[in-house]
Amino acid sequence: MNDKAGAQGRPERRKSADRRKENKGTDGTERRQGSERRDAKPSSSGLDRRTIHDGHYVFREGELGEQAYIITVGSVEIVKATGTGDMILGTVAKGGIFGEMALIDNSQRMASARAIGGPVEVMIITRKTFAMRMEKMDPFTRALINIFADHIRSLASALGEAKTRAS
């Protein structure tokens, strides 16, 4: 329900179409509460798979990240908003991983990810799966990954300010 009062002074109910519109993902498909995507398909690897159409966003800068992605088909460009428009930080191709930074340091997405050159297929790494893998690492390796994540965020910020492409 929302804050608006109806004719009787009671809160007005929103139509289910309005609620569905608010729950749409960045590529137009519906989201479930507690997960970034609803249309994932299981794979033999135990990781769910998803297809993103050309030009659609996997996620957007500033969102909270609950998943990382491994590309099995296609390419994704990583895009950062600047005062003068979008700047492409880099491109991730088949076999590459993206979206992991938000899982490493529990921060908001530092950039958007958009499918380019045709449909993209990804395997989804959930926060739970990622955390289980991180827990199995020795403390030195975990600390090193966190340090790298801090350096990457600083570098991405500096690239955005300098309007320079990373790859």
Question: Where in the chain are the domains?
Answer: 23-162
* pLDDT tens digits, one per residue of 71-85: 999 999 999 988 888
Whether the model pTM is above 0.85: no
- Identify any residues that bridge with 82 across adjacent strands, giving them in sequence order: 85
Mean model confidence pLDDT for the chain: 78
Question: Rounded to an integer, what distance in angstroms lies between the CA atom of residue 114 and that of residue 108?
Answer: 17
- Half-sphere exposure of residue 43, counting CA atoms within 13 Å on the CB side? 15
**83-96 as b/e, with b when 16 or more CB fall inside 10 Å?**
eeeebebbbbeeee
Q: Give me the mean pLDDT over the 84-95 stretch.
A: 92
Topology annotation, domain 23-162: Jelly Rolls (2.60.120)
Question: Rounded to an integer, what distance in angstroms lies between the CA atom of residue 162 and that of residue 80?
Answer: 12
Question: Rounded to an integer, what distance in angstroms lies between the CA atom of residue 150 and that of residue 146?
Answer: 6
* pLDDT tens digits, one per residue of 123-139: 999 999 999 988 999 99
Inform me whether the pLDDT recorded for 116 exceeds 70.
yes
* pLDDT tens digits, one per residue of 30-59: 333 333 444 555 555 668 999 999 999 999
